[in-house]
Amino acid sequence: MNDFTSSFWSWFIIVIVIASFAAIFWLIHWTTKGKPTKTAEGKVETMGHVWDGNLEEYNNPLPRWWLIMFYITLFFGVAYLVLYPGLGAFDGVLGWTQEKQYQEEIDRAEETYGAIYNKYLKEDIASLVNNKEAITIGERFFSTYCTTCHGSDARGVRGYPNLRDNDWLYGGSPEKIRETITNGRQGAMPAWEESLGHEGVFQVTQYVKSLSGREVDSVVAHKGKQIYEKNCAVCHGAEGKGNQQIGAPNLTDNIWLYGGSQKQISDSIAKGRTGVMPAHKEFLGEAKIHLLTAYVYGLSVDENIDE
């Protein structure tokens, strides 16, 4: 498959490639034909280049083996362009594509390892948490696909949730975790600076901080509460405990996805936030997601037991 918007560009590339190969063939043939030129004394003519006083460059043709290597390289290039994509829109005789090769490798892997993963599909997530072999497989999936965002210890970084603290934006049940991994999530916090103004943002920030029991200016926080009830309660709830149906975080637990300092909370309110969890349904498949869900679910279970 090619991305050309016009057949002109395909032919443009084809003509340049073929002309380049023809020119290289001609150049090699032209520069290597004939025999060495000799002087009247019967010596091979030099090119006039001298190094270190007595090291001269002779006008000799390339060694035969070297010349053959040039031709082999050129014929290899021609064969490659016949078999594989490279000549404009021509797909090659073999019809190779990177997508096709990727799918073939995935199919071979599924044929080899699919049975290992599929045998756990009938087991309940809660019971798999105690299955050492299943959790080990799930941990490997997590290390491969999830650590870039959530960290190798699954404790997250700013903007990416901690998966060990049992504080869930969309719910921490096995079903909800599997739903999140399968379909992904897209959260959005609108920007309020334009409608609230700098002072309004400051007042709401003070009130939000007070929800988690932190010391604030009570007069400012009271004004912020009025703004909160009018604009923020619809998502975060009247008491600030959030709404897992829409991914609105709990503001009373002092756990902050983007940081809990005065400035960080203020930035979240003023500028808004956008978070995306990619869907893994097509990429991983049901069996792998089942095992990955068990591992992630087990992280918060283990954390609660440790506490």
63 secondary structure, DSSP code = P
Judge whether residue 10 has pLDDT over 50.
yes
CA 284 to chain centre: 14
Judge whether residue 52 has pLDDT over 90.
no
Nearest to 293 by CA among 180, 155, 187: 180
User: Rounded mean pLDDT of 185-211?
Assistant: 96
Judge whether residue 306 has pLDDT over 50.
no
| Number of CB atoms found within 10 A of residue 62's CB | 13
Is 217 in contact with 206 (CB distance < 8 Å)? yes
Judge whether residue 31 has pLDDT over 90.
no
Structure tokens at 124: 């309940």
Nearest to 174 by CA among 134, 127, 243: 127
Nearest to 165 by CA among 64, 45, 250: 250
Q: What residues contact 179, with CB distance under 8 A and at least 6 apart?
A: 170
Is 38 in contact with 58 (CB distance < 8 Å)? no
Chain segment 134-162, per-residue pLDDT in tens:
999 999 999 999 999 999 999 999 999 99
| Alpha-carbon gap, residue 234 to 248, rounded angstroms | 10
Judge whether residue 205 has pLDDT over 90.
yes
Burial 91-108, CB ≥16 within 10 A → b, else e: eeeeeeeeeeeeeeeeee
Helix and strand numbers, DSSP H then E, in the chain: 13, 4
* Whole-Å CA distances, 169 to 180, 256, 296: 10, 11, 14
Picking from 58-67, 83-92, 119-128, which range would have the lowest pLDDT averaged per residue?
58-67
Chain segment 217-226, per-residue pLDDT in tens:
999 999 999 9
CA 181 to chain centre: 15
* Whole-Å CA distances, 157 to 162, 257, 259: 7, 8, 10
Q: Which residue has the higher pLDDT, 46 or 112?
A: 112
User: Rounded mean pLDDT of 17-42?
Assistant: 80
Mean confidence (pLDDT) of the chain: 90
Judge whether residue 307 has pLDDT over 50.
no
Chain segment 61-76, per-residue pLDDT in tens:
778 898 899 999 999 9
Q: What are phi and psi of 11, to 5 degrees?
A: -70, -35
Could you tell me the pTM of the whole model?
Answer: 0.73
pLDDT band at 56 (very low <50, low <70, confident <90, very high): confident
